[in-house]
Each structure stands twice: as C-alpha cells, then as structure tokens.
Structure 1
Amino acid sequence: MTTQTETRSGVATGTLARLRARNPYLNGLLSPRGITGLIIVGLLALAGLLAPALADFAPTAQSDQALHSPGGAHPLGTDEVGRDLFSRVLHGIRNDLAIILIAVPVAALAGSLLALLATASRAADAVVQRFFDLVLAFPGLILALAITAIMGPGFLPVVIVIALAETPGFGRVLRAGILVQREREYAVAARVGGAGRARVLIRHVLPNAVDPLIVQLAISLPVAVFIEGAMSFLGVGVRPPEPTLGSVLSQSMPYLSSHPWYAAAPLITVTGLVLGFTLIAEALNKGVRR
C-alpha cells in the first residue's frame, strides 16, 4: 500500500512538473509569489461573493448607533449614520470586483480589435496610434472627471473610464506582438506557400502573439482597482449609498483623528487587492521570462 501511494505521489509530482515546464504561466502562478497573490485575492473575492451571507446587516441600513466602536454585532464598527462597516466593506469588495471584471476584459477586447485594425494598413495604424496617444495624454483621473462630467457618476461611467484608460496598453502589446511574429520564418514560409494574409494571421501569427496579453491582463487589474478607488474617493464613482471601498474610505476622512478604525478596514482591503493582483502579475511576468 505504501509503495502504491508513493508511486501515485511520484506520478502526480512528475505530471505537475511537466505541466509547469510546458506552461510558463502555470509555472509563475505556482511560485511563492504567485501563490501568495492568489490566496490574498481569493480570500477577498470569496468574502465579497459571500457578503450577503456573512453580513448580518444590509450595507445601506441605518441605525442610531453612529460611529460605534468595533465589537459585538458590528465587528468593524459603524459609520456616521450607523451603517455596519463590516457589511459595507464586504459589499464594497463585491462591487469593486464586479466593475473590474467587466471593465478589464472590455479593455482587452477593444485593445485587441484596434491592434488588429492597426496591422491592416499604414493608414489605419497611424489613426489607431494617434488614438492611443490621445487617451494616454490624459491622466486617469482627468479622464474620469471628463467622462463623469458628461455622464454623471455611476457604475457604467466607472466601467467606461477603466476600459478606456486600459485599452491602449492591450492594443500596443498585441500590435507589437503581431508585427514581430509575422516576420518570423514560419509566417514567411506560410505566405510563400500560398496562404492568404488572413489565414496566416489567424492560424500562425495570433496564437504566438497573444501570450503577452495574459501578463497585461494581470497588470491591468491593480491599476483598475486604483482608478475605481480614486473615482469613488473623489465622489465621481458609484452613486451613494451603494458602497465601494473608495467611497467608504472617503467617508471616513473627517473622522480619521477621532475614529481611526473607520478608515482601517477599507484601506487594508484596498491595499490587499492591489498587493494580491500585483503579486500575480509579477509572478506571471517572471514565469514567462524564464
């Protein structure tokens, strides 16, 4: 029995080693840095997902226990109108992740489509590159203020701001990958063999050019957390009383000296999300470079 167990363990270890050797992303995620990031993000995401079950109070429910210290029925205390901070932080994680997980994939899709357009002709490339330059000329918060001045604060404007701010990064990464890969020997050989331009792009170039997008996706996540938090902190994010981590942190500022615990939970949570996503991005990037 012991021998069989050891044999199975050896087979499993050998299979994992082969998978790590073949997949640099898996190799990166299974590094200590990647595992730490996955644990941090996973725990926070699970807490946000289970917010309705974990919190005893609705995030917008007010009471007469304003600025109640942590303890008892309110593990993190209450805010200035008696709302439970534990519930608001958990639902804030939920809302932040919902925004990020919509906005970043939209940015990846938009950037990829523009990159494909840019590689179609020199004229299209010039137009797309000038669009990227125009977006990058505006700092994220200035872009956020401009869009919310037109649309007003809310969930959708935050998604649009993040998606627009992140699009040039994805577009430039994929464009550079396509330009490099289509000059490689295998792409040239496919063209010489009579394959059409579209066929070469889809079957040969793109599969080898999209790998850096995985790393770019991971890099974009902590940036998205920062943009959403900054917009909510400035009051141009999700409309109150719906909580986000940035809005809870913003509301705690007048009470920072008298009730420092008010700001502690949202600040630690935002820091945890940014740290977790950053560790994942660094682990993926290191895994690819090996």
Structure 2
Amino acid sequence: MAREPRRFNLTASRYLQAFRQPKGIFAATVIVVLTTAAFLAPAVFPGGYDQQGRDALLPMSPEHLFGTDELGRDILVRSLFGLRTDLTLVYIAAPITMAVGTLLGLIGFVSKTTGTLIQRILDVIVGFPGLVLGICVVLVLGTGFPALLISIVVIGLPTFGRLARAALLSQQQREYVTAARTLGISRSTIVVRHLLPNAVDAIIVQGAVFIVHAVFLEASLSIVGLGIQPPQPSLGALLNTGMRYITQSPTYILGPIIILLLLAFAFSLLTDALNETVNRK
C-alpha cells in the first residue's frame, strides 16, 4: 500500500517540474489570473453582464477599457463573464473526455472484440471535421451549454482513445504484463497499475492541447449562432455580435479576441512545458 502514494508523489513531482521553467511559470500565471478574473466577475461586477448604459458603441477609454456594445454594456465585463462561461465549459469537458477516452482505449485489454469495435467507432468520429461534427450534435440536441459540452466530449474522445490504445498495444506484450497475467492478477488490475501509468504522460500533455481546441470549438460554434445563446455571453457569442458592428465600432471584437488568444497562448506554453518535462531523460 505504501508504494502507491510514493508512486503518486513521484509522478506529481515530475509534472510540477514544468512550472519551474520560465514558460511554465508564465503560462500558469496567465491561466490563474484569467481563471480568477472570470470566476470572481459576479463579485467584482455585481451589476452583472447585462447592465445597460446610455452610450452605445463607445470606443476604448479609461472608463470602458474595451468600449461598450450596441446596448451600452461594458464589453470588458461581458468578456469576463463570457470567459467564465468558456472556462466552465472546458474545465468540465476536458476531464470527462480524458477519462472516458482513456477508458475506451484501454478496454481492449479486457475484451479484444469490444476494443476493436470501439476503435472503429472512434475512426468514424475522426472522419468528421470537428466543427462539422459539432454542428451535427448541436442540430440534434439544440443550442446551449449542454449541447456544447456533449459536442466537445464527443469530438475529443478519439484523441485520448487512440493514445490509450497505442499505450496498450505497446505494453501488453511486455514481460511484466505476461508475468502479471501468469500470476493470476486480474485484467482490470493490470490495466490500472501497469498499462495506465504508461499512457498518463501523453494523456496529460494532450489534455492541455485539448483545452485550447475546446475553447476555439466553442468560439466557432457560437460565431455561427449554434453555441451559447444571448443574453448569456461567451467569447464566441461576443465575436458573433461584434462582427455585425465592426464598421461602426472596430474595437468591439478586440476585447474577446485578446482574451481568447491570451488563453490559447498560455495553454500552448503549458503544453510545451509539460511535454519537455515528461520527455526529459
């Protein structure tokens, strides 16, 4: 029993090395600042994201850093509430996708037939471009947060399922796995204690990449009107509305774009830092 906590501590310590690099420190700082600002927005701005003002489509100013929208609402406030929606979505969707996708990839060790069938289903999902598949899911389930969540999970399953499947195929013929099976250790125990640890590095690194992909997927679906619906804001919904007024107020979409790109850049740097850490010899 003492080995499991020790193994966990060593693994966690190895991942924490990523946050001792300059890029890891910068990425973590940006992510923490954006996440804190997003989830504290209701407390900092008690008026909410739908508080209207007299002046519409104002340019950037000290009073309104990103200007105001067509109803006089502060775009910075709406961008932070929109970021809150996006982060809530991806922070729920990413762990679910990683866990379910990994389980689907490793189930082939327990049942070869089931594993092969699941891989064929994942191959079909891969055959659809992410945006097209997301549109199909949203058209079936309707617009809104739940449909976006399911879309992101479905689109991400093949990535993690294939990573776990690759780890399974590379490790299942190893001597230690054969020895464990000879000793009568159950297949589920072998998967959890031996096969899963060999897949976890790639899965965690890919998880950071997937968060970026999920944020852009939400933005893409909302831009075409199939994501978060007004008056609830999201970064994609703000871009969708802002493009209608871009000739009247060119800075309308500047705020959501800055936040979106900053978030993507931070998670991309985090991915690089994690990748360098797990591949360090």
TM-score by length of 2: 0.90
Q: What stretches of structure 2 of length at least 5 have no aligned partner?
A: 1-8
Q: Alpha carbons of 1:156 and 1:22: their partners in 2 closer, same or farther (altered >3 Å)?
A: closer
Query: Secondary structure, in 3 states, of the residue corresponding to 2:253?
Result: helix
Query: Secondary structure, in 3 states, of the residue corresponding to 1:261?
Result: coil
CA distance in 2: counterparts of 1:57 and 1:21, whole angstroms: 44
Q: Alpha carbons of 1:124 and 1:50: their partners in 2 closer, same or farther (altered >3 Å)?
A: same
How many residues are treated as equivalent by the alignment?
272
The Cα shift of 1:73 comes to 4.2
2:60 corresponds to which residue? 70
Instruction: Detail structure 1 runs of 4+ shifted over 6 Å in the superposition.
Output: 19-22
Aligned residues of 1:21 and 1:27 also touching (Cα < 8 A): no
CA distance in 2: counterparts of 1:122 and 1:78, whole angstroms: 58
Which residue of 150, 164, 173 maps to 2:154? 164
Q: Alpha carbons of 1:268 and 1:116: their partners in 2 closer, same or farther (altered >3 Å)?
A: same
The Cα shift of 1:104 comes to 1.1
Range with bigger deviation, 194-203 or 125-134: 194-203
CA distance in 2: counterparts of 1:173 and 1:105, whole angstroms: 15
CA distance in 2: counterparts of 1:20 and 1:186, whole angstroms: 21
Range with bigger deviation, 101-110 or 70-79: 70-79
- Superposition pairs for residues 120-269 of structure 1, below 5 Å? 120-269=110-259
Q: Alpha carbons of 1:79 and 1:195: their partners in 2 closer, same or farther (altered >3 Å)?
A: same
Cα offsets for 1:188-216 (capped at 9, x unmatched)? 22223343333323333323332321112
The Cα shift of 1:256 comes to 2.1
CA distance in 2: counterparts of 1:88 and 1:277, whole angstroms: 22
1:4 corresponds to which residue? none
Q: Alpha carbons of 1:184 and 1:148: their partners in 2 closer, same or farther (altered >3 Å)?
A: same
Aligned residues of 2:58 and 2:249 also touching (Cα < 8 A): no
How big is the alpha-carbon RMSD for the aligned residues of Structure 1 and Structure 2? 2.0
Q: Alpha carbons of 1:117 and 1:192: their partners in 2 closer, same or farther (altered >3 Å)?
A: closer
State whether structure 2 residue 61 is matched by structure 1 residue 49. no
The Cα shift of 1:106 comes to 1.4
Cα offsets for 1:41-97 (capped at 9, x unmatched)? 111111101112333642122233211233354332210121221210110111000
The Cα shift of 1:21 comes to 10
Range with bigger deviation, 223-232 or 177-186: 177-186
Q: Alpha carbons of 1:284 and 1:249: their partners in 2 closer, same or farther (altered >3 Å)?
A: same
CA distance in 2: counterparts of 1:200 and 1:128, whole angstroms: 20
Q: Alpha carbons of 1:105 and 1:22: their partners in 2 closer, same or farther (altered >3 Å)?
A: closer
Which residue of 70, 92, 105 maps to 2:82? 92
Query: Secondary structure, in 3 states, of the residue corresponding to 1:81?
Result: coil
The Cα shift of 1:230 comes to 0.7
Q: Alpha carbons of 1:140 and 1:98: their partners in 2 closer, same or farther (altered >3 Å)?
A: same
Percent sequence identity is 38
The Cα shift of 1:22 comes to 8.4
